[in-house]
Structure 1
Amino acid sequence: MERKKPSKKFDGNYYLKRYPDVKESKVNPLVHYLLHGEEEGRFPNHHAEMNSPQYINKKFQDIIKNLEKSLSQSNNYLQNIKTEVEENNQLHKKEIENFEKKLNLTKSVLHDIIDCSNKKKYCPICQKTFLAFLSLVKTMAWGAMS
């Protein structure tokens, strides 16, 4: 490719590469730009294109699309986390309910032990005195083991 850069503001090589129709026409790129290109909104060099409102607008549109995509992915991720937390809360709620049932049962057993501590019974077979409630618990424990 020959060097077609008559000034800092115009780069003929860039112009021909960017606009193949001008290259096919075999018209001098600078002449084409001066007669038609500027009026058609063509860029005289790479820097002019990079600093143009059209290029900057396109870049911002691309950035906005990427940000919207990232935001959508983040929203989906957060929704998945929220669903998982809600499921875990339901699981923990059931675990807490079961724990509360066990706690209430334990409270009830302890209350019964305290209430029965003065109720002694005499066993005619072994001829011993025992607490009625504790005997029942012991009997239940032996029954569960056998």
Structure 2
Amino acid sequence: MSGYNDRVIDEFRANGGRVQGFGTGLVLVHSTGARSGEPRINPVAAMRDGDGWLICASLAGAPINPAWYFNLVAHPEASIETPDGAVDVTAVELTDDGEYDAAFGRFVARYPAFADYATKAAPRRMPLIRLVRRA
């Protein structure tokens, strides 16, 4: 984990999910490494989506997907820390164009910078993941 991520995680936990510059718009994604099988934690911009959450594998518009995306594809059973507590989730990638476009529109309305990230990332379509609460 990078020093930056470590600082964000520490701030998230110390301030009840509030991080400077993000407010309460982050979750901490607890995943299993796709290749290593080791536990990983990544702070990720998220928004509520019904009873779940949406996250976008933007990597700030890089031409590649972030490592946590591959972790969730390989091991979709994960958990997140939210400002309201820990939640067990299943990661489901949005692949239907209509569903993706509608969800991405909501995501950009909440986080306008993601429109710029999408432009930078082109022709890569940044994956959108719905984190569905497990019983």
TM-score computed with the length of structure 1 as normaliser = 0.17
Richer in strand (by share): 2
Which of the two has higher C-alpha Rg?
1
TM-score computed with the length of structure 2 as normaliser = 0.18
